[in-house]
C-alpha cells in the first residue's frame, strides 16, 4: 500500500530537499506535468475518462495505453458520471447501470478488468431533483463494478460530499460501496471556496483525518481490500490550485499520512 501525492511545484521542491517522501507522484494526463514530475519521483497518471457517456474513441484508448506504458501506471481509471439527458424518461436505474457498464466493459476488453478502476463522484449540490443521485447511488455503483468485474477507486472526499448532501452518515454511505473491490483510495480535506460552495482538495481538518483513519482501520483489519495506493489530492498547478497548494500544508500533512499508511499495512500470515 503506497503513498502518492498530487504533483505541484511545492511538493517537488520538498521532495528534492528531503523534507517529504512519496512512493508515487499522481499526475494528470498532461505531458508537461508528467515531464516535470518524472525526474523527482516515479509517477502514475490519473485519467479524465468518464463512464456512462458513450463509448470512447479508439484513438483516445491508444493514447491512454501509450501514456500508461510510459509511466508504468498500474490501473486505467474512469469516473462514474452518466449524462442523464442521454436517457429517456422515466429514467430506469437498470438503464443507467447498463450505460456505465458499457464503458467499463470497453476498458476491461482493452486493458483487462483487473487493470480498470471506477471512481465515485460527488452528488452535485447544484443539480436539483433525484436524477443526479443515480450516479452516486451505492447500488448503481456496486452493480456496475461487480457486473463488469473492475475495481473501485474510492474517493473519500467525494463520498463525504454526497453523504452530507443526502444528510446521512458518510461511513454508512461508504460501507454500501463495493469496498471489497477497493484498488485505490483518494483522500483530501473538505472546506468551502470563495463562493461558499463545498469543495475538496483542501487542507485536512480533524474530521478528514478521522475518516481517513477509519478507512485505514478497515483496510488493516481486512474488512476492505487493500488498495495499491492511498493518494492525497492536495496541491496542483494553475489558477484552480493557486490557493490550495501551500508548501507548509504539504510539509506537515504528507509525513503524517505516510505514518498512518505504514501503521495500517494489513498483517499477512
Dump pLDDT digits (tens) for 110-128.
999 999 999 999 887 555 5
| Contact (Cβ atoms closer than 8 angstroms) between residue 117 and residue 148 | no
267: pLDDT strictly greater than 80: no
Q: pTM for this one?
A: 0.94
Q: Per-residue confidence at 249, pLDDT binned at 50, 70, 90? A: very high
Task: Look at residues 171, 169, 160 and name the one whose alpha carbon lies nearest to residue 217.
Answer: 171
pLDDT at 126: 56
Q: How far apart are CA 174 and CA 101, in angstroms?
A: 21
Q: List domains and CATH numbers for the chain.
A: 2-263 (3.20.20.150)
Q: How large is the average pLDDT for residues 63-69?
A: 97
pLDDT tens-digit readout, 160-199: 999 998 889 999 999 999 999 999 999 999 988 888 888 8
Q: How large is the average pLDDT for residues 100-109?
A: 97
| Contact (Cβ atoms closer than 8 angstroms) between residue 138 and residue 173 | yes
> What are the distances in angstroms from CA 9 to CA 6, 14, 43, 72?
10, 9, 14, 22
Q: What percent of the chain has pLDDT over 90?
A: 77
Amino acid at each position: 500500500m503506497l503513498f502518492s501525492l498530487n504533483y505541484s511545484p511545492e511538493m517537488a521542491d520538498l521532495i528534492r530537499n528531503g523534507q517529504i517522501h512519496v512512493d508515487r507522484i499522481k499526475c494528470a494526463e498532461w505531458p508537461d506535468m508528467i515531464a516535470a514530475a518524472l525526474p523527482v519521483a516515479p509517477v502514475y497518471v490519473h485519467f479524465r475518462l468518464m463512464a456512462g457517456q458513450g463509448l470512447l474513441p479508439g484513438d483516445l484508448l491508444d493514447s491512454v495505453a501509450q501514456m500508461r506504458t510510459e509511466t508504468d501506471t498500474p490501473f486505467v481509471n474512469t469516473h462514474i458520471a452518466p449524462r442523464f439527458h442521454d436517457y429517456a424518461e422515466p429514467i430506469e436505474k437498470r438503464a443507467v447501470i447498463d450505460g456505465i457498464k458499457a464503458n467499463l466493459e470497453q476498458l476491461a476488453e482493452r486493458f483487462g478488468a483487473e487493470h480498470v478502476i471506477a471512481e465515485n463522484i460527488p452528488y452535485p449540490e447544484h443539480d436539483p431533483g433525484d436524477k443526479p443521485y443515480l450516479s452516486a447511488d451505492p447500488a448503481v455503483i456496486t452493480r456496475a463494478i461487480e457486473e463488469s468485474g473492475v475495481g473501485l477507486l474510492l474517493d473519500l472526499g467525494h463520498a463525504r460530499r454526497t453523504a452530507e448532501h443526502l444528510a446521512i452518515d458518510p461511513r454508512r454511505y461508504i460501507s454500501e460501496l463495493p469496498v471489497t473491490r477497493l484498488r485505490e483510495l483518494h483522500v483530501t480535506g473538505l472546506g468551502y471556496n470563495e463562493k461558499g460552495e463545498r469543495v475538496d482538495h483542501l487542507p485536512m481538518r480533524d474530521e478528514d483525518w478521522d475518516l481517513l483513519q477509519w478507512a485505514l482501520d478497515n483496510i488493516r483489519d481486512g474488512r476492505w481490500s487493500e488498495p495499491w495506493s492511498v493518494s492525497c489530492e492536495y496541491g496542483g498547478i494553475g489558477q484552480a490550485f493557486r490557493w490550495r497548494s501551500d508548501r507548509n500544508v504539504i510539509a506537515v500533512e504528507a509525513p503524517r499520512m505516510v505514518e498512518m499508511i505504514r501503521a495500517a499495512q494489513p498483517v499477512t500470515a
